[in-house]
Amino acid sequence: MPGSPNNLPLISCRGLTKIYVMGQSEVRALDGIDLDIYEGEFVAIIGSSGSGKSTLMNMLGALDQPSSGSVMINGENIGKMKSKALAKFRNNTIGFIFQQFQLLPKKSARKNVELPLQYRKPKVTDSASKADHCLELVGLKDRAGHRPTELSGGQQQRVAIARALAGDPKVLLADEPTGALDSKTSEDIMALMQNLNAQGITIIVITHEAEVAAYAQRVVEFKDGRILSDKRQDAAA
């Protein structure tokens, strides 16, 4: 059972603090966060802009390192890593989903999905078939040869999800995944994520929309760099 205290958490933040220095003033984007996320959870991190949720996302994605405190993910301490190790860690452990999809416009869906596998060591020999398999998981098997410009917004985000899955990550990190989509498509995407979670994939969604957060089992609300609330809920269908 995810969340039970006798399991080791997949992600563990202790006293996590991030301070940005802007000229004379200091901004505490994160201020002593303690947070555990267990394998198989579907967590929504919510909060208004400036609440620190994006900073947390950067920490959890190993894109940034804490000023003090620690972030342990899958047994590794993000704060102690060098640039090379961080890159390797991102490649092996994290699957990113972005608001703006971030697909390479001149490459086919398959090539886009293969992208994380290109940086994998040892070299992945069957990256094309892996990519096709991931596209199948998101229901785009027959669009593998299409370029992003030939796909709808929802389909593009599905390609991005397939790309996030391609590297077999420990956790999917989605930053406002429905921010650029209409409400019907948003529902489809969130249903897909819920479906993936049901298959055992840990998902963390950063959002400011309550409708999106409703799909998660757990909602952590941020305000001014601190956790305001941490609630478990019955996920929306």
Partner 1 sequence: MNSLATLGLAFSSIIERPLRSLLTSLGIIIGVAAVYAMLALGEGAKKQVEESLNSISTRSMQIWPDWNRGRSSQARRSMPFTEKDIVELRSINGVFAATGSLTGRSYTIATETNDVSGNFMGVDPDQLRSGGGEMKMGENITFADIETRNPVVVISEGIQQRLYDNQNPIGSTLKINNIAFRVKGVTTKPDSNISFGNDDLFAWAPITVARERVIGGNRFVQNHVSSIKVVGDIGASLDTIEEEINIVLRRSRDLKAGAPPDYRIFSSRGWQQQAAEQTNSLSFLLAAMGAISLLVGGVGVMNIMLVSVTERTREIGLRMALGAQKNNIMSQFLTEALLLCILSGIVGLGVGFAMSKFAMDTMDVQLVFSPTVALISFGSALFIGVVFGFLPARRAAGLNPIDALRHE
Q: Which stretch binds partner 1 (CB under 8 A): 13-21, 42-50, 86-94, 134-142?
A: 86-94
Q: Does 106 bind partner 1 (CB under 8 A)?
A: yes
Q: What's phi and psi for 227, nearest 5 deg? A: -80, 125
Please name which of 164, 42, 5 lies closest in space to residue 91, comparing C-alpha atoms: 164
Q: Does 163 bind partner 1 (CB under 8 A)?
A: yes
Q: Does 128 bind partner 1 (CB under 8 A)?
A: no
- Residue where the block lists tokens 């198989």: 40
Find the shortest distance in angstroms from Cβ 64 to partner 1. 6
CA 9 to chain centre: 17
Instruction: Return the number of the residue (28 or 36) whose C-beta is nearest partner 1.
Output: 28
Instruction: Return the number of the residue (103 or 193) whose C-beta is nearest partner 1.
Output: 103
Q: Does 115 bind partner 1 (CB under 8 A)?
A: yes
Q: What's phi and psi for 125, nearest 5 deg? A: -85, -30
Three-point CA angle 95, 43, 158, nearest 5°: 40
Among 14, 98, 194, 214, binds partner 1 (CB under 8 A): 98
Q: Does 16 bind partner 1 (CB under 8 A)?
A: no
Q: Does 88 bind partner 1 (CB under 8 A)?
A: yes
Number of other residues whose CB lies within 10 A of the CB of residue 83:
8
Among 32, 36, 50, 63, binds partner 1 (CB under 8 A): 63
Cβ distance 145 to 109 under 8 Å? yes
Calpha distance 40→56 (Å, rounded): 19
Find the shortest distance in angstroms from Cβ 104 to partner 1. 6
Q: Does 198 bind partner 1 (CB under 8 A)?
A: no
Q: What's phi and psi for 20, nearest 5 deg? A: -100, 130
Number of other residues whose CB lies within 10 A of the CB of residue 235:
18
Among 7, 48, 118, 233, binds partner 1 (CB under 8 A): 118
Applying CB under 8 A, which residues contact partner 1?
Answer: 58, 61, 63-64, 83-84, 87-88, 90-92, 96, 98, 102, 104, 106, 115-116, 118-120, 123, 163, 167
